[in-house]
Chain A
Amino acid sequence: MIGVVGAGLVGARAIDALVASGQVQVAINDANLAVANRVASRASRENVRVSAVQVVQMFEMNVVVLAGPAPHAKAARNLLEAGVSVVSCSDDVEDVLAMLDLDAIARESRQTLVVGAAMSPGLSGLLVRSLASRFDEVDEAHVAVHGTAGPACAQQHHRSLAGQSIGWHDGDWLRRPAGSGRELCWFPDPVGPRDCYRAEHADPVLIHHGVPALLRVTVRMSANRRDRLTARLPMLTPPHAEGGTGALRVEVRGWLGESRHVEVVGVADRVAQVAGVVAAATARGVVAGGFGSGVRVLGDDDSPNDNILREVAAGGIRLREFVGSATN
């Protein structure tokens, strides 16, 4: 049985994706039980039982998806120690680093902890791994993100423009002020071109963890002047219930024969929808035994990346690749 902690947008979409993919028993927990009950009753079908449960009942699950706001590290540790595998959607750098340190605990309890199973990180790692098969050798991955899911995600977006971005650069971690390094990134339609800036995002940490051969990994996030100007202040207005259409763009560079080669793939959809589908596909992958014990990230050598990516595509996420000219 799969449990989901967090009945926000990502949690609700993960439930929907699990139900759509044939999972007949799903449990959901939220600090606000009324919200959990509402999500459960909306997702339940004739042959599908989605039940709102207390948090202690999550320790009886096979896999638990942590879809609430960060931090997840403490909950992940408790669940692993209780013999429950965990899929975390956290995109907070410190939280992600804390979860990567849980490898010994996960191996000892013979459970799996998948860190960063959302859109970015998550789908970004899957796409890097998928594109790498088109190269003889990959050495750079550059991720750009546009949009947010629910209010917690919007607050994380706000905070990430005020911190220190972290990037992997020629064998060393490079820290730069978030909000700097403007670059015009072209996302799949209908999002199109957006100015993107460095941000405190967990993608480089996890992509480097999954594909250590990469020499450079960066992440940028779209922002406008108001976002950057007010990043160090509290949010001036309450975040939207759900952001509009978001997007992800993954550019991988490397060598193909004797020449440099670049591949770009992306997706344009609601961020919560993408994150929910990726989290659900990952949880099903854990239940099916596709992941070994220990800490895993999407895109690493030992994860069933192709299966999960196919399931994500089957879940209605339209992946796009950029074709630069008619000769390609």
Chain B
Amino acid sequence: MKLFRRLLLVLSVATAVVGILRVGGGGKQRVTTKQGGWRAYTPSK
């Protein structure tokens, strides 16, 4: 029973950490158009 409670505790802490990391990562930088990507290519004349 004690082992089971410890397991639950570890799982809940791990879940909380993962949740925090996910929320913390919510402000990730989005790739804007100024940061590159595919542009129209015009063949040279």
Contact = CB atoms under 8 A, between A and B. Distances in A.
Contact of A325 (B36, B40, B43, B44): B36
A223 to B, nearest CB: 23
Contacts of A320: 38-41
Interface residues of A, number: 20
B38 A306 contact: no
B45 interface: yes
B34 interface: yes
Contacts of A265: 41
Interface string A284-328: 000000000000000000000010011001000011111111101
A188 B40 CA distance: 10
Contact of A322 (B35, B36, B45): B36
Contacts of A189: 38
B25 interface: no
Contacts of A325: 35-36
A130 B43 CA distance: 7
For chain A, what secondary structure do more than half of its interface residues adopt (helix, strand, loop), or is it mixed?
Answer: mixed
B24 interface: no
A130 B34 CA distance: 25
B37 interface: yes
Nearest to A187: B38
B43 A323 contact: no
A11 interface: no
B39 A306 contact: no
Contacts of B41: 265, 319-321
A43 B34 CA distance: 43
A150 interface: no
Nearest to B34: A326
Contacts of A306: 43-45
A322 B44 contact: no
Interface in A229-266: 265-266
Contacts of A321: 38-41
A47 interface: no
A309 B45 CA distance: 10
B38 A309 contact: no
A155 to B, nearest CB: 30
A163 to B, nearest CB: 31
A290 to B, nearest CB: 15
Interface string A172-206: 00000000000000001100000000000000000
Nearest to A318: B40
Contacts of B45: 306, 310
Nearest to B35: A326
B15 to A, nearest CB: 31
A32 interface: no
A320 to B, nearest CB: 4
Contact of B44 (A130, A188, A326, A328): A130
Interface of B: 34-45
7 contacts: A133-B44, A318-B40, A320-B38, A321-B40, A325-B36, A326-B36, A328-B36
